[in-house]
């Protein structure tokens, strides 16, 4: 069974600076991988992940001999692999009629998503240093104290399985780690009480159950306030000069507001769905 934990992490100044470099390097690898994929596709060479990755690593190996690109040596080679996986997924989604996705685009420095992903190579890639610190190879090794987190449940979750991937991301000047863990126990929780329920999504109420119970939109006033704040920040941001200090300050406020909206909605849905699964074995939901 695969499970993912998303936790907030607290990197020190040195780690934050390194993360910023990795965010940029991940964008550089993605764009390079996509450019090579596009060239091979236009030349009818039938590109695939392994073929493009091998060619990419060969090119990067040559680039590292040039002084202008010697900085590539500082980064983990895993970033080429994981950014290539993202490109491959984008192309597969583009050709999948059910996905209705556009052709993969190059990542913009202005609009880029600050994220990078590492995967498990061996037992020394990831691991807990203590109950509040986790080691990540080349990014937050044990000799530097590892990467700090505060959630109490993380230690038990990690000790019960094996870490497969760790994705570091940044939103609203806050850093997060999405940890994918593989467990040996493949049995999922299954409610066997035989209870049945039908759920209809509504407008006045978020959901109406077949037994008459209604789930109200209790967070709607709070969300309306936040969306109003979003509109205000967007207008202010449109009048600021890009890359200026005032632009960055307003953008951070806007990102924090979006993060508040996401947290409220995510928390509400997680608690609701968890309670439904605990109480009922058979669940029917309206179709589109």
69-118 per-position pLDDT tens digit: 999 999 999 999 999 999 999 999 998 888 878 889 999 887 768 999 99
The helix/strand/coil state of 96 is coil
Looking at residue 238, its pLDDT comes to 92
Residue 188 pLDDT greater than 60, yes or no? no
3-state SS track over 56-72: HHHHHHHHCCCHHHHHH
Q: For residue 25, give both structure tokens.
A: 């390097």
pLDDT in tens, 152-183: 889 988 998 999 999 999 998 899 999 999 98
Q: For residue 286, give both structure tokens.
A: 């309206």
Q: For residue 29, give both structure tokens.
A: 């690898």
The helix/strand/coil state of 51 is helix
Compute the average pLDDT of residues 59-77.
92
Compute the average pLDDT of residues 215-219.
83
Q: Residues of 158-193 as b/e, b for ≥16 C-beta within 10 angstroms?
A: beebebebbbbbbbeeebbbebbbeeeeeeeeeeee
* pLDDT band per the 50, 70, 90 thresholds, residue 60: very high
> Mean pLDDT, the chain, as a whole number?
90
Looking at residue 59, its pLDDT comes to 93
Bridge partner list, 148 = 133
* pLDDT band per the 50, 70, 90 thresholds, residue 206: confident
CB distance 15 to 23 below 8 Å: no
Looking at residue 148, its pLDDT comes to 96
DSSP code of residue 103:
P
Closest residue by Cα to residue 52 from 39, 79, 33: 33
CB distance 25 to 114 below 8 Å: no
């Amino acid at each position: 069974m695969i499970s993912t934990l998303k936790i907030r992490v607290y990197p020190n100044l040195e780690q934050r600076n390194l993360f910023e470099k990795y965010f940029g390097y991940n964008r550089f690898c993605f764009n390079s991988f996509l450019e090579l994929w596009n060239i091979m596709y236009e030349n009818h060479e039938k590109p695939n992940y392994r073929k493009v990755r091998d060619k990419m690593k060969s090119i990067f190996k040559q680039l590292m001999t040039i002084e202008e690109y010697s900085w590539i040596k500082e980064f983990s080679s895993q970033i080429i692999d994981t950014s290539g996986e993202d490109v491959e997924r984008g192309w597969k989604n583009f050709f999948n009629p059910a996905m209705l996705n556009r052709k993969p685009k190059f990542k913009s420095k202005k609009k880029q998503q600050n994220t990078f992903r590492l995967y498990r190579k061996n037992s020394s890639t990831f691991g807990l240093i203590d109950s509040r610190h986790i080691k990540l190879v080349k990014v937050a090794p044990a000799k530097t104290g590892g990467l700090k987190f505060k959630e109490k449940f993380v230690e038990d979750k990690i000790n019960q399985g094996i870490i497969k991937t760790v994705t570091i991301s940044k939103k609203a000047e806050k850093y997060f780690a999405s940890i994918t863990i593989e467990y040996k126990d493949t049995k999922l929780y299954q409610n066997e009480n035989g209870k049945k329920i039908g759920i209809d999504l509504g407008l006045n109420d978020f959901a109406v159950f077949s037994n008459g119970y209604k789930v109200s939109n209790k967070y709607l006033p709070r969300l309306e306030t936040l969306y109003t704040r979003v509109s205000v920040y967007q207008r202010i941001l449109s009048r600021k000069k890009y890359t200026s200090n005032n632009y960055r300050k307003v953008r951070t406020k806007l990102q924090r507001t979006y993060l508040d909206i996401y947290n409220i909605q995510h928390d509400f849905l997680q608690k609701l769905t968890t309670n439904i699964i605990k109480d009922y074995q058979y669940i029917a939901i309206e179709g589109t």
